[in-house]
Amino acid sequence: MAQKQINESAQMAVIGGSWGSLKIILAILENLRNDFKISILIVLHRNSDYKSKLTDLILYKSGKQVFEIEEKEPIKPGCIYLAPAGYHVLIEKNKTFSLDYSEKINFSRPSIDVAFKSAAIVYQQKLICILLSGANSDGADGMEFVEKYGGINIVQNPEECEMPYMPLQAIKKNKIDFIYKSTEIADYLNKLL
């Protein structure tokens, strides 16, 4: 495991997860300081067959306001964004979001790989990507891009994951900068401030 320093120049954190990751996302956000300055994008595998009130749940459980992404929405510092169910999320060079309805990747739309790759190209060394619990390999290929463009890769410690397959695939395929327990992820993000 590499030992990069805290990336104090970070502008964007992308958090990807699937099975077993919602409770970790809630814990991270609940422990995040209110004066955080970076943008956070959450890409969560979820069922697109029904309209959920996930943004309301996140606000209720974590106390943090989350915005479901809209097409061409500008990315603002300090805001938390949620990928809408059924759409891939791309980040444009002018730092706006773009939504895409192309084929599923790793059986998923939104795909964590798509978001990680897109964010890596735009934010490069100012990007942190965090991969949580999940049952497929989505995110592992995207982390390869993050490494290539100089960003930081963090995975949830597989030993604490409800479904460790996703972080294990990322560890197997990539040079991961930090393997953290969920509490350590929030601590890392808070240190960026």
The token pair at 175 is 């040079």
Give me the catalytic one of 39, 111, 118, 138: 138
186 touches 25 (CB < 8 A): no
CA atoms of 25 and 186, how far apart (whole Å): 10
Sign, CA dihedral 130-173-169-45, equals positive
Active-site residue flag, 45: yes
Give which of 1, 3, 8, 2 is closest to 189, Cα–Cα: 8
CA atoms of 24 and 26, how far apart (whole Å): 5
156 touches 27 (CB < 8 A): no
Active-site residue flag, 56: no
CA atoms of 135 and 182, how far apart (whole Å): 18
Give me the catalytic one of 21, 39, 45, 177: 45
Active-site residue flag, 18: yes
Q: Is the peptide bond before 158 cis (omega within 30 degrees of 0)?
A: no
Give which of 124, 52, 115 is closest to 87, Cα–Cα: 115
Q: Catalytic site residues?
A: 18, 45, 138
